[in-house]
Amino acid sequence: MTNHQSPVTNLPGRLGEPVEFRGEVTVTVARDKILEACRYLKGQCGFDMLTDIAGVDNYGDDPRYAVVYHVYSLTHRCMVRLKVAVPEDDMLVDSVVPVWRTADWHEREVFDMFGIRFRNHPNLKRILMWDGYPYHPLRKDFPLAGRETELPETAVNAGKVEPAPMLGGPFVTTPGAGTAVRREPRQADTAAERTEKKGAS
């Protein structure tokens, strides 16, 4: 046991068993224990910095979602990862803003992208997409191209959201096929539109 692991491996049993993989320690925490676990990590173990909070969509699995916390200790110079499983039918996790204030925006991002709500969050609203956007775009069942949506009331004169043309791939362009103007995928889209219109008329 190296020195930098000591605060983690000394965790009491209530936090779950730490799993080490390639020098990184992961602790799976029950959903209702996350706030308590974070308080313990910060107060007793010296994990004073919350690096990131991430959402995970394990589409097809049960429980479907997870929230992952990366916490760092500036005194011990080590990192620990906390994982909380979130079932689809009850997507609510305790907010850790009372422990690390920086969790505010991280949790808002997870809420925006995955729709996971955080109990007792001071200001749980969207942070990347605009208020009133109806979807949570990082969910696996949301298409990368997006869905047709209205823009917010202040921006209606800019049109509306239309799905991006995908042409069979996340990004398709053919190298060496003529000039950039010609090989730009939207060129093919407009060509397809033109043939469609011709066929219709």
The answer to whether 152 contacts another protein (rule: CB under 8 A) is yes
Q: In which residue are the tokens 């799905």 written?
A: 163
By the rule CB under 8 A, 157 interacts with another protein: yes
CB of 154 to another protein, least distance (A): 5
Examine residue 115 and tell whether it contacts another protein (CB under 8 A): no
CB of 168 to another protein, least distance (A): 11
Amino acid at 65: Y
Q: Does 137 bind another protein (CB under 8 A)?
A: yes
SS3 43: helix
Residue 185 contacts another protein per CB under 8 A: yes
Spatial separation of the C-alpha atoms in residues 199 and 104, rounded to whole Å: 53
Q: Which two tokens stand for residue 188?
A: 């093919």
Strands 24-29 and 78-86: parallel
Q: How far is the CB of 196 from another protein (least distance, A)?
A: 17
Rounded CA Rg of the chain: 23
Task: Tell me which residues touch another protein (CB under 8 A).
Answer: 128-130, 135, 137, 142-147, 151-152, 154-159, 161-166, 170-171, 179-181, 184-186
